C-alpha cells in the first residue's frame, strides 16, 4: 500500500500502481469527470500516470495552470494531426501550450491561408468526435531516432539527438498520429470541448534567425464554449484598442520605417507624456526623492564593473570615442551609483532616494518589436535608493505604498509576484536569501498576497513585480522593486556609520511606470484612446455653428487657455453635426457648441464624450467643472 497526501492535507491509502484517474474516481465521480491531469510531488502528470510510492497529489482541473497546460497541449497535437491528414508532406516542429492558448510550428512549402485554417478546424472537430485515446510510450535513443527518420520528420530527429544522455524519450500516439512529447496530455481527444485557430505567423526554427523560417499556427482552447466566446470577444476588443492603431489615428505617436523600434512622439503625444512625467515628479518630490540625470553613453569598463557585460552584452549597443570603447546604456543603475559615490556619505544622510527619467537603449530582434510595448529605446522611471540594513524594511514598504498610490490614480487593479534567484546570477546564496527574505517580509507586513516566480529575479537580486490588470482583463508587468547587495560591493560604495567606520549600503532599484513608452501604450489601450480629462491632450473643442460666432469662440479659447485648459477650435465651414462627429472620433472629453443663443447670453452649450448633451451653462461653471476633474484626477 502507498499513502497519497491530497491537496486538502488528507491522507488516503491505495494499492501501489493506482493511477491518478483512479484516485480522482475514489474521491467523487464529479471530480473524476472534470479532472484533466494530476500534480504529483510538484510535477504535472497524465491521469493515467501510476503512483508507485508515497506522494503528494493535487488533482488539476481547467481552473489550474497545470490543467490548462495539459488541455491546450493536447489541442495543439489535435491541430498537428489535422494538418498531417490534410497535408501529409508537411514536417512537424514543436507545439507547446502557452499563456491563453497554444501553437504549432510547421515546415510547409505552401502558406496557410485563412481558408486553410477553417479546413484544419473542421478536421480537428472530426478528430475530437473520434475520441481517440492518447497513449504514452517510450523508446531508447537509437530506436527513437529511427522511428522519426522512418516518418520523415527531420525536426523531431534533431530534437531527439539534442536531448541529454539518459533522458527518457517519450511519445504520444492518438490514432495514426504520433508525436515526440514529454506530456502531459488529456486521456483522449474527445475531452476538448471548445477551441479556435487564431492566426499564422513566421517563426525561425528554434528561435534562431540563421535557421529556416517555419509557419506557426496559433490557437486557443477552453473547457466551455462560453469561456471561449468571452476570450474571443476580448481579442476583438483588444484589436479595437490596439495602441499602434490609436496612436496613428489620434496623432499621438508612431514607429516609422526610418527608425524601427525607435518611437516618434507627436505634439499631442508629448502633451500626454509630459503630464505623466510632471505627475511623476510631483509625487516623487513629496516622498523625498531627488531627481538626477546621467549620460546615455558611458565607458565599456563601467559595464564590466557592474556585471551587465557578462549578463547583458548581447542586448547592448557599442561605439568608439577617441579610440576608447564605450557602450550606450541599457540600464540606468551604474550611472546612479556613480552619482552616489561622488562623495562619502554619513549614515545620517541615508536613505538617499535618487530618481531618474533615464533614456536607455536595448537591442531587440526585429521580430520581437511591437509598437511602444517592445522598443529599442525607452525611458525608465528609475530610482535607486541607498540605505543602511536597518532601513531596508521601511524603504521597501515605502516603495510598495508609492506604487499602490500611482496605480489607484489610473484605476488599475494589480497582482504581485516575487521572483527569486536566476540560474545566471552574482553574489552568495546567503546574500540572496537575506534579500529574498526582506522582500517577503515587507509583502507580509503589508498583508499582500503574492505568487513566487522561481528563478526569474534580476542577475543581481530578487524582485517584486507588479502586474496591472486593464479594462478588458489583460495583465501587464510594470512596476518592480529589486533588492541588491551586489552592485554596492562591485562599485565599492560606502557610508560612515555611527561607529565612525565605513559600511556598505544596501540598494533598491525600482520603477513605477516601468517604461514611460510602454505605460502610455497600456493607458491608450486601457482607455481605448478616450483618456480622462486630466490626461487628454485636448480637453475641450470649441465648435461655432456659423462664422458670426467665431469672435466669441476666440474669446472663449483665450479664457480657457488662461486657466491652463487645453483647447482647440474648429472654425471650418462644415455642418455642426459633422464637426461633433469628428470631435467624438478624436475622443475629446468635452465639446462646446456655440450658436446664436450662446452668443447672446454669453454661455456655452456643453456636450460630454461620456454623458452626452449637458445643456447650457455659464463659462465659469464649465471651467470649474474641468478644473475639478483635473484636480481630482477623475477617471
Domain count, the chain: 4
Residue ranges making up the domain that contains 33: 2-61
pLDDT tens digits, 81-106? 999 999 999 999 999 999 899 999 99
Distance of alpha carbon 565 from alpha carbon 626, whole angstroms: 8
For residues 580 and 464, state if they share a domain: no
For residues 499 and 593, state if they share a domain: no
User: Which residue intervals of 446-503 are DSSP H helices?
Assistant: 487-490
Distance of alpha carbon 415 from alpha carbon 410, whole angstroms: 15
Strands 495-496 and 177-180, by their bridges, are unpaired
CATH number reported for the structural domain that contains residue 183 in this entry: 3.30.980.10
For residues 511 and 552, state if they share a domain: no
Q: Which three cell numbers stand for residue 147?
A: 522511428
Q: Would you say residue 374 lies in a domain?
A: yes
Distance of alpha carbon 581 from alpha carbon 572, whole angstroms: 14
Q: Would you say residue 439 lies in a domain?
A: yes
Distance of alpha carbon 553 from alpha carbon 569, whole angstroms: 8
**Is pLDDT of 309 > 90?**
no
> What is the reported pLDDT for 471?
84
For residues 501 and 390, state if they share a domain: yes
Give the residue from 498, 526, 554 where a domain finishes.
526
For residues 488 and 395, state if they share a domain: yes
Distance of alpha carbon 372 from alpha carbon 352, whole angstroms: 32
Strands 91-92 and 11-14, by their bridges, are unpaired
CATH number reported for the structural domain that contains residue 10 in this entry: 3.10.20.30
pLDDT tens digits, 566-615? 999 999 999 999 999 999 999 999 999 999 999 999 999 999 999 999 99
**Is pLDDT of 317 > 90?**
yes
- Give the rounded percent of residues in the chain with a pLDDT score beyond 90: 86
Give the residue from 526, 557, 574 where a domain finishes.
526
Distances (CA, A) of 151 to 106, 154, 391, 420: 15, 9, 64, 43
DSSP H or E run through 117: helix 114-130
Q: Which residues are designated catalytic?
A: 333, 362, 380, 382, 384, 463, 509
For residues 75 and 57, state if they share a domain: no
CATH number reported for the structural domain that contains residue 520 in this entry: 3.30.930.10
Q: Give the 3-state secondary structure of residue 360.
A: strand
Q: Would you say residue 464 lies in a domain?
A: yes
Q: Would you say residue 248 lies in a domain?
A: no
For residues 203 and 226, state if they share a domain: yes
Give the residue from 26, 61, 96 where a domain finishes.
61
**Is pLDDT of 308 > 90?**
no
pTM above 0.85, yes or no: no
pLDDT tens digits, 326-359? 999 999 999 999 999 999 999 999 999 999 999 9
> What is the reported pLDDT for 486?
85
Q: Would you say residue 303 lies in a domain?
A: no
Q: Would you say residue 264 lies in a domain?
A: no
For residues 577 and 622, state if they share a domain: yes
Q: Which residue has the higher pLDDT, 429 or 356?
A: 356
For residues 127 and 18, state if they share a domain: no
> What is the reported pLDDT for 529?
96
Q: Which residues on neighbouring strands pair with residue 542, listed in sequence order?
A: 569, 592
For residues 563 and 625, state if they share a domain: yes
pLDDT tens digits, 444-482? 999 999 999 888 888 878 999 999 998 888 889 999 999
Q: Would you say residue 256 lies in a domain?
A: no
For residues 88 and 220, state if they share a domain: yes
For residues 93 and 231, state if they share a domain: yes
Strands 413-419 and 450-453, by their bridges, are parallel
Q: Would you say residue 326 lies in a domain?
A: no
Distances (CA, A) of 191 to 58, 96, 123, 195, 466: 20, 18, 16, 11, 35
DSSP 373: T
User: Which residue intervals of 294-391 are DSSP H helices?
Assistant: 300-306, 308-312, 333-340
Amino acid at each position: 500500500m502507498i499513502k497519497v497526501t491530497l491537496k486538502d492535507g488528507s491522507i488516503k491509502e491505495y494499492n501501489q500502481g493506482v493511477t491518478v484517474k483512479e484516485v480522482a474516481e475514489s474521491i467523487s465521480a464529479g471530480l473524476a469527470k472534470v479532472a484533466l491531469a494530476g500534480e504529483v510531488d510538484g510535477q504535472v502528470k497524465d491521469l493515467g500516470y501510476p503512483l508507485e510510492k508515497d506522494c503528494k497529489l493535487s488533482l488539476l482541473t481547467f481552473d489550474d495552470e497545470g490543467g490548462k497546460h495539459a488541455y491546450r497541449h493536447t489541442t495543439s497535437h489535435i491541430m498537428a494531426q489535422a494538418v498531417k491528414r490534410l497535408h501529409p508532406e508537411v514536417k512537424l516542429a514543436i507545439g507547446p501550450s502557452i499563456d491563453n492558448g497554444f501553437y504549432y510550428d510547421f515546415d510547409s512549402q505552401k502558406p496557410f491561408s485563412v481558408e486553410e485554417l477553417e479546413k484544419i478546424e473542421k478536421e480537428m472537430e472530426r478528430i475530437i468526435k473520434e475520441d481517440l485515446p492518447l497513449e504514452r510510450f517510450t523508446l531508447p535513443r537509437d530506436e527513437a531516432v529511427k522511428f522519426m527518420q522512418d516518418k520523415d520528420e527531420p525536426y523531431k530527429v534533431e530534437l531527439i539527438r539534442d536531448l541529454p544522455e539518459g533522458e527518457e524519450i517519450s511519445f504520444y500516439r492518438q490514432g495514426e498520429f504520433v508525436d515526440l512529447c514529454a506530456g502531459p496530455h488529456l486521456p483522449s481527444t474527445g475531452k476538448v470541448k471548445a477551441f479556435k485557430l487564431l492566426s499564422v505567423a513566421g517563426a525561425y526554427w528554434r528561435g534562431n534567425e540563421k535557421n529556416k523560417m517555419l509557419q506557426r499556427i496559433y490557437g486557443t482552447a477552453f473547457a466551455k464554449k462560453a469561456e471561449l466566446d468571452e476570450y474571443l470577444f476580448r481579442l476583438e476588443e483588444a484589436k479595437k484598442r490596439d495602441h499602434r492603431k490609436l496612436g496613428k489615428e489620434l496623432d499621438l505617436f508612431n514607429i516609422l520605417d526610418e527608425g524601427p523600434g525607435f518611437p516618434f512622439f507627436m505634439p499631442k503625444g508629448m502633451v500626454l507624456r509630459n503630464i505623466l512625467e510632471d505627475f511623476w515628479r510631483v509625487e516623487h518630490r513629496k516622498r523625498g526623492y531627488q531627481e538626477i540625470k546621467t549620460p546615455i553613453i558611458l565607458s565599456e569598463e563601467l559595464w564590466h564593473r557592474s556585471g551587465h557585460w557578462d549578463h547583458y552584452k548581447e542586448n547592448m549597443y557599442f561605439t568608439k570615442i577617441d579610440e576608447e570603447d564605450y557602450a550606450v546604456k541599457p540600464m540606468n543603475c551604474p550611472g546612479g551609483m556613480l552619482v552616489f559615490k561622488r562623495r562619502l556619505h554619513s549614515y545620517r544622510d541615508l536613505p538617499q532616494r535618487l530618481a531618474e527619467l533615464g533614456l536607455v537603449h536595448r537591442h531587440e530582434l526585429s521580430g520581437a518589436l511591437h509598437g511602444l510595448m517592445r522598443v529599442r529605446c525607452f525611458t525608465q522611471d528609475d530610482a535607486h535608493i541607498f540605505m543602511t540594513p536597518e532601513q531596508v524594511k521601511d524603504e521597501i514598504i515605502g516603495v510598495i505604498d508609492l506604487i499602490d498610490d500611482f496605480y489607484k490614480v489610473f484605476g488599475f487593479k494589480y497582482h504581485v509576484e516575487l521572483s527569486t534567484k536566476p540560474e545566471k546570477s552574482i553574489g552568495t546564496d546567503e546574500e540572496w536569501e537575506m534579500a529574498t527574505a526582506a522582500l517577503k517580509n515587507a509583502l507580509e507586513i503589508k498583508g499582500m498576497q503574492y505568487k513566487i516566480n522561481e528563478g526569474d529575479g534580476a542577475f543581481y537580486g530578487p524582485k517584486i513585480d507588479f502586474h496591472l490588470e486593464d479594462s478588458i482583463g489583460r495583465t501587464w508587468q510594470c512596476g518592480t522593486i529589486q533588492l541588491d547587495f551586489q552592485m554596492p560591493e562591485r562599485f565599492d560604495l560606502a557610508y560612515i556609520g555611527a561607529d565612525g567606520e565605513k559600511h556598505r549600503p544596501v540598494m533598491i532599484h525600482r520603477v513605477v511606470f516601468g517604461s514611460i513608452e510602454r505605460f502610455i501604450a497600456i493607458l491608450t489601450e486601457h482607455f481605448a484612446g478616450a483618456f480622462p480629462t486630466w490626461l487628454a491632450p485636448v480637453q475641450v473643442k470649441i465648435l461655432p455653428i456659423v462664422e458670426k460666432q467665431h469672435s466669441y469662440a476666440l474669446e472663449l479659447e483665450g479664457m480657457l487657455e488662461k486657466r491652463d485648459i487645453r483647447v482647440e477650435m474648429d472654425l471650418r465651414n462644415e455642418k455642426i453635426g459633422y464637426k461633433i462627429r469628428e470631435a467624438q472620433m478624436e475622443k475629446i472629453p468635452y465639446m462646446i457648441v456655440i450658436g446664436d443663443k450662446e452668443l447672446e447670453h454669453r454661455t456655452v452649450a456643453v456636450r460630454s464624450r461620456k454623458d452626452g448633451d449637458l445643456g447650457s451653462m455659464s463659462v465659469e461653471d464649465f471651467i470649474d467643472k474641468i478644473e475639478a476633474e483635473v484636480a481630482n484626477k477623475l477617471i
